[in-house]
Amino acid sequence: MLNVVVLISGTGSNLRALLEAIDDAERTGTPMGARVVAIGADTPEANLALATERGIPTFVVRPRDYENRAAWGDALLQEVQRFTPDLTILSGFMRLVPPAFVEALAPALLNTHPAFLPEFPGAHAVRDAMAAGATQTGATIMIVDNGVDTGPIIEQQRIPIHPEDTEATLHERIKVVERDLLIRTVQGIANGTINLKEIAA
């Protein structure tokens, strides 16, 4: 069984999709081979109700409670490691984690990104794609490294940008693909068809 810790900052829509996929697989008698053992956040405003309604432990580690980013990262790592995860996922987690956090968990540390990397890295990928006049963008699942969206790519998919798209409508269509990619990636890691050490090598 693949034990997964997920870190969120907001509504956790990707996390919700993953939890529902795990539940659906159990109900149909074809378990995914993965379970979310804890959900953490950098703010108490994050949607931790996704965890409490399923009896999943939660934790919040706020950056403002620590002297600096490194100290916050150490505290966050300590909380994550309490659950001895096989995989940690940054799912809409809106902070860069410090190098010590990455070194302790990678390559079993994943992130989703709303663009076809290396195109449009950073926090405003959807807006940047539209501002550039691109006709297509995408979604990517990657291993986290110490750069900004520069880690080894596990899987990605192209998404067309329609003339009538707004930033909001495009982002919603990207999220649908992101969720599917995330679920398939977790399932692949659980069943051994995705080897993170080989991808990171």
- 111 is an annotated ligand-binding site residue: yes
What positions carry a catalytic annotation? 113
For the chain, the residue count is 201
Pairing of strands 153-160, 136-143: antiparallel
Quote the CA–CA distance of 177 and 62 in Å, as a whole number. 30
Look up residue 114 and give its amino acid. P
Residues 6+ apart with CB under 8 A from 6: 12, 15, 18, 36, 38, 39, 40, 88, 89, 91
- 73 is an annotated ligand-binding site residue: no
- 13 is an annotated ligand-binding site residue: yes
- 82 is an annotated ligand-binding site residue: no
- 95 is an annotated ligand-binding site residue: yes
As given in the structure block, the two tokens for residue 168 are: 């909001």
* Planar angle of CA 182, 174, 136, nearest 5 degrees: 120
Q: What is the DSSP letter of 115?
A: S
Question: Which residues are documented as binding site?
Answer: 12-14, 69, 94-97, 111
